[in-house]
A and B are shown apart, each in its own frame.
Chain A
Amino acid sequence: MTEKTIIYRGAEAEIHLANYMDHRVVQKKRIQKSYRIKNIDERLIASRTREEVKLMTEARLHGVSVPIIYDVDQENGVITMEYLQGKRIKDILNGLSEKERIRICNKIGESIARFHNNDIIHGDITTSNMILLDDRVHFIDFGLGEKNSEIETKGVDLHVLMEALESTHSLYADCFDYVLDGYKRELKEDANLVIKKIEEIVKRGRYR
């Protein structure tokens, strides 16, 4: 891996483009942060790398589109995975026709329901973490995720997306409703319980 191969530098990781056994792959390397003490830094890098791989593998088994994982180096915080040459939802959502936007938002909701059905919590559902490829919405970056069956946790998971849509796609305030439409269709338990919980979480925040 050389500097030249970096294709994206996020807040916590660098994404490198590389070759791995004849596959075009990306390597996600979590970066040590010198602002935090070693104790916290090591704990976060190791646990997030481990959780991310675990959750992605499991989500894939349940029909959620995620990149295929080829290799994990937990010690150095590196995950080698499939290179998805698609488009970030964040970059395309505002430019879609209304009909298309509704269709994509429905799909997003359906996928979220599919991992929530299996108690997989993503932890950072934003439109930056979704890639559209071959008409499928792929989810990436499960690093803040966990396994959890509580309605509360699922509500918080969706609340993150609600805030992301409000802040980044504020002109299309109805997006979240279309996501919830898809979510309701696919969720096995009563989706209204989760939706009620989201309303409660919103009210819990400051000045709501």
Chain B
Amino acid sequence: MICLGIEGTAHSIGVGVVKETGGKCKVFSNVIKIYRPEKGGIHPREAANHHATYLADLIRDSVKKARVDFPDIDIVSFSRGPGLGPCLRTAATAARALSLSLDKPIIGVNHCVAHLEIGRGILSDCKDPVLLYTSGANTQVIAFAEGRYRVFGETLDIGIGNCIDKFGRTIGLDFPCGPKLEELASKGERYLDLPYSIKGMDVAFSGLLTAAEQYYRNGERVEDICYSIQETTFAALTEVTERAMAHTEKDEVLLGGGVASNKRLQDMVQTMARERDARFFVPSTDLCIDNGAMIAWLGLLMYNSGIRMKVEDSFIDQRFRTDMVDVTWRD
């Protein structure tokens, strides 16, 4: 079975082609185009226009790179949500057109669950992890329990990536600010106290963001502020992940989302895992960020477990929560 997946929840439009072999995921191709606003954050309409401009080429490109022909594709999947409406609709429209013209089934998938499943699909030994999913919009600690992927902890206000981007914009960095902020942080020498906000297994970052901006206005060294932001927020994220692992009694931890490519975050979670004799997993960066391959893989899993979707039911869902998905492909 070969599935082509289209991802389009936010700033990225991606197309991936994957195949299942022996229960594992083989990525044939995974191409992506990222919308980068000239200034400020993502403008949903501008992002959707960007996606519409490049999507047809990306689909052709992904099929070519996968060394398959269009008739070889068995299923077409797309990111149903959560995400920005105009972006989701652009990806869904392309998926419907492709499904109808190839006369192949369509399936809409949950973006957050796809981030988790791609880890399980790609990495051997990654079977039942707690996922720390950190991106611009999303910050969730997810694990499988009682037939669903449950959100054990999440942000109560803004995503960690959003927090980083907002501070980055304050100090004049370009979007996405994560990699540049990481570099600045590596030159930090002095820790500046920042609010450490944990509520049960939930986190909150807006207070920390305000405090960090205050430090900037007061003339503190930018490197020190970036260092303090990373140390504080990542410690909180690592702590809630560990709490979720203790709570669910799981001994695997998986990273996903764009912020997962931050080396310091990887470091901290890996150290935490080692200290509690747990295994640590992180997919390669192209599979951590928003991408089509993970959408294709989840589409395949769902289809193989008997889930079917009619084109007329393939509407999008901007508020598609992780725990709304009935996980039929796992025991």
Contacts and interface: CB of A to CB of B under 8 A. Distances in A.
A35 B320 contact: no
Given A43-B193, A167-B150, A206-B140, 8 more contacts: A11-B239, A35-B235, A144-B199, A156-B156, A160-B202, A205-B154, A207-B319, A208-B319
Nearest to B242: A11
Contacts of B319: 207-208
B257 interface: no
B191 interface: yes
A35 B200 contact: no
Nearest to B198: A144
Contacts of A9: 246, 276
10 contacts: A11-B245, A34-B275, A35-B235, A37-B231, A40-B196, A160-B201, A163-B152, A205-B156, A207-B320, A208-B321
B151 interface: yes
Interface string A168-185: 101100000000000000
B243 A207 contact: no
Contact of B199 (A34, A123, A171): A123
B82 interface: yes
Interface in B11-44: none
Contacts of A206: 82, 137-138, 140, 154-155, 159
Interface stretch (B93-101, B208-216, B264-272, B281-289): B264-272
A86 B93 CA distance: 57
B247 interface: yes
A99 interface: no
A165 to B, nearest CB: 11
A33 B272 CA distance: 8
8 closest residue pairs by CB, A with B: A160-B200, A207-B319, A36-B235, A35-B271, A11-B246, A167-B150, A35-B268, A11-B243
Interface stretch (A51-59, A63-71, A103-111, A124-132): A124-132
A170 B148 contact: yes
Contacts of B156: 156, 201, 204-205
Task: Determine which residue in B82, B235, B276 has the highest number of CB atoms from chain A within 10 A of its CB, and name it.
Answer: B235
B171 interface: no
Nearest to B152: A167
B77 interface: no
Contacts, number: 104
A39 to B, nearest CB: 5
A12 interface: yes
A207 B198 CA distance: 20
A207 to B, nearest CB: 4
A171 B200 contact: no
Contacts of B272: 33, 35
Given A37-B191, A201-B156, A204-B157, A167 B268 contact: no
Interface in B64-97: 81-82
A168 B138 CA distance: 22
A167 B200 contact: no
A204 B202 CA distance: 13
Contact of B150 (A11, A157, A170): A170
Contacts of A208: 319, 321
Contacts of A201: 156
Nearest to B159: A206
Nearest to A157: B199
A4 B145 CA distance: 31
A10 B269 CA distance: 16
A206 to B, nearest CB: 7
Given A205-B154, A207-B318, A144 B200 contact: yes
A207 B271 contact: no
A39 B232 CA distance: 10
A123 B199 CA distance: 6
Given A163-B200, A167-B150, A126 B247 contact: yes
B134 interface: no
A121 to B, nearest CB: 9
Interface string B165-202: 00000000000000000000000000101001011111
A34 B247 contact: no
A172 to B, nearest CB: 11
Interface string B140-151: 100001101011
A8 B271 CA distance: 21
Nearest to B194: A40
A18 interface: no
A167 B145 contact: yes
